[in-house]
A and B are shown apart, each in its own frame.
Chain A
Amino acid sequence: MSLLLVIYAGIISVDRFAAFHMLFSRPLVISTIVGLLTSNPVHLFYIGIMLEIFGLIDVQVGTRITREDSFLAYVLSVIAGMGYFTSVSKMLLLLLIMIILMYLAGHTERWVRNFNKYLFLKGTIPTGKLIFLGACMAFLRGIIVYPAAVFLGIGILDYFNGIFDYGLSFKIYTVFLSIFLSGYLLRFLSFRSIYKYITFIFGLGLGWLLI
């Protein structure tokens, strides 16, 4: 299973920055797949929803490197899937650390792009080979950066082993954090505000009635 998870880390990085663009790198997909691999799909599904909403509030334009929500989802999902979250406090602590590290992880993509530029400017490498090397670099980045953060996370949780354990209701925290982020997502949707809020409230009401 560990080998599968490492290979998946590479695929996520390729899908996100180099090739495919088929959503394998979206947090909800990552959490679900890791959840299925680690036999913990329900818990991870809620983590996936929270991080997916966070990631959706961003658009990839031009040379800009978007927030590395895939990194966040992978690290948290693998650690949660392996059963290291023994309390809500540990989940929140790791979430906090990984949000900060996410910016550093995004920066590694800059190195890959610089390497791609270096290879291109050499002017002697055939285009097909440049494409192949670019995909390989993205894969390599994935299998190094993501699992390294998982090990770091596990190390931090091991350090707090037996202490700093508060709360066991994971779901309520992920659900209400998701609701908070949904406010951002709603604002992010770009059509005339008044109709947007009316439509949203209508959906909210209908869902409430049905449930």
Chain B
Amino acid sequence: MRGFITLFHKEVMRFWKVGFQTVLAPLLSTMLYLLIFSHVLGKHVEAFPGVPYVSFLIPGLAMMALLQNSFANSSSSLIQSKITGNIIFLLLSPVSYPEMFLAYVLASSLRGIIVGCGIFAITLWAVDIPLKYPLWALIFALTGSFILGAIGIIAGIWAEKFDQLASFQNFIILPLTFLSGVFYSIHSLPPFWQQISNLNPFFYLIDGFRYGFFGASDSSPYFSLFVVSICLAAVSLITLWLLKSGYKLRN
């Protein structure tokens, strides 16, 4: 247990020590998205009936930032440790693989949630956003950050170079987040793209999260929770198996 607490604490310190880059920078870039999209589309789009576009956009952007930062935390920590070689200090210790899993995932989740909360904190004074079902919002925020934290571990273990990790981020994580309904309701899409969106697990994370705010969503929150729970179980099992087997770590 002490090993888990130490690794979790170390991972939190690691991103907190460079908070300018790990917390403030994503806050700034997300605010730029908000500024541009709300200015360009704010007067033309109404995603949900009676919900202004900027209000619709903010939870989606917060969730997108939460997901991307959760992924970035565990993946960047692992790849840096592997490339610089200091991963061996952890591998030489008696910390078990479930402890490693939990510590990396929870630290990633914390960073994602801090960034997500930061976005709400900044926009709160300017935009009125209801919070109809906070528990739903919390469940999806936690589940999303856990999933991306675990995927970050998988990517960090798999990648041997920074450009491989960048490819994982640019060709998998970024398209999945951008095409998940952050900026639009999928009902505004043609039927074909709606069906494609239904295959994107990130869509259910954002849609379920948004339900917590507006009580309205493209898909049933129960179905979304079912999908994301399956995803969480699957990525957790894969990550635990990789850590247990020592794949690309203990060789």
Are A and B subunits of one complex?
no
Q: Measuring CB to CB, which residues of chain A are less than 8 angstroms from any residue of chain B?
A: none
Q: Measuring CB to CB, which residues of chain B are less than 8 angstroms from any residue of chain A?
A: none
